């Protein structure tokens, strides 16, 4: 009789193990960690860009003293972008992510204006230090785009996991603290078609 009791217990434990493995109990925290890693890479690339700004401003300042307004805007935008404090869990405060995005977009705009004024200074455009900084900035902008894309994909996978069955049930039982992550969005202004005039 004890053999059958032990066998029944073993069968129940084995069935539970197979059921839990099949319902994604480990996939949910693994995907949560992927989202966090992707977000860390986004922040890493934004920081890389912010680190390039002081050298870029100093180089331009040497050539374009009369462009002080634009240089000041770039420095202020950088300060604002690097001072944004995000909550540890982005899912708890989507408004903080929007503010972070807005500050980063402000820095992008200020850097674009800075690059536009450099067209007026041929000596600056031929300066090797400026060329190297400009190349690094362009590379960093590309890295930001890739990091944002990767983050969006990981968020999509995680949020889909939290909304589909059976992982939805598993998450509600074992990980009730996990909430969907907000994805990056763009403003209405960025979605409109640009006007080109000749």
Q: Is residue 112 part of a domain?
A: yes
Query: According to the model, what pLDDT value does residue 69 have?
Result: 81
Q: Does residue 70 sit within a domain? A: yes
Using alpha carbons only, give the angle 129, 130, 135 rounded to the nearest 5 degrees. Answer: 100
Residue 168 located in a structural domain? yes
Query: What CATH number is associated with residue 136?
Result: 1.20.1440.20
Asked whether the predicted pLDDT for residue 137 surpasses 60, the reply is yes
Residue range 18-43, pLDDT digits in tens? 565 555 688 999 999 999 999 999 99
Of 137, 182, 189, give the one whose Cα is nearest residue 39: 182
Comparing 68 with 154, the larger pLDDT belongs to 154
pLDDT above 80: residue 189: no
Give the number of domains in the chain.
Answer: 1
Model's pTM, two decimal places?
0.72
On whether residue 187 sits in a domain, the answer given is: no
Q: Which domain, by its residues, includes 135?
A: 14-24+33-182
Note whether residue 114 is domain-resident.
Answer: yes
Flag whether 119 is in a domain.
yes
pLDDT digits (tens, 9 = 90+) for 60-96: 887 777 677 888 888 888 888 888 777 777 767 788 8
pLDDT at 190 over 60: no
Q: What is the pLDDT of residues 2-11, one digit of tens each?
A: 777 777 777 7
Q: Is residue 37 part of a domain?
A: yes
Q: What are 168-180's pLDDT values in tens digits?
A: 999 999 999 999 9
Mean pLDDT across the stretch 151-175? 92
Q: What is the pLDDT of residues 103-121, one digit of tens each?
A: 899 999 888 888 887 778 7
Average pLDDT on 33-57 reads: 91
User: Is residue 191 over pLDDT 60?
Assistant: no
Is residue 80 situated within a structural domain? yes
């Amino acid at each position: 009789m004890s053999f059958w009791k032990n066998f029944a217990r073993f069968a129940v434990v084995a069935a539970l193990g197979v059921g839990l493995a099949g319902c994604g109990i480990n996939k949910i925290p693994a995907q949560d960690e992927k989202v966090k890693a992707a977000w860390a890479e986004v922040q890493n690339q934004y920081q890389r860009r912010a680190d390039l700004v002081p050298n870029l401003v100093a180089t331009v300042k040497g050539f374009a003293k009369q462009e002080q307004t634009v240089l000041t805007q770039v420095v202020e935008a950088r300060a604002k972008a690097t001072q944004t404090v995000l909550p540890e869990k982005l899912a708890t405060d989507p408004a903080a992510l929007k503010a972070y995005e807005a500050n980063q977009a402000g820095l992008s705009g200020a850097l674009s204006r800075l690059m536009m004024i450099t067209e007026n200074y041929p000596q600056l455009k031929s300066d090797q230090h400026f060329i190297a900084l400009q190349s690094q900035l362009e590379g960093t902008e590309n890295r930001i785009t890739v990091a944002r894309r990767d983050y969006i994909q990981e968020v999509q996978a995680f949020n889909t996991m939290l909304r589909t069955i059976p992982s939805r049930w598993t998450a509600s039982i074992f990980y009730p603290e996990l909430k969907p992550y907000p994805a990056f969005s763009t403003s209405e202004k960025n979605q409109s078609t640009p006007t080109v005039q000749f």
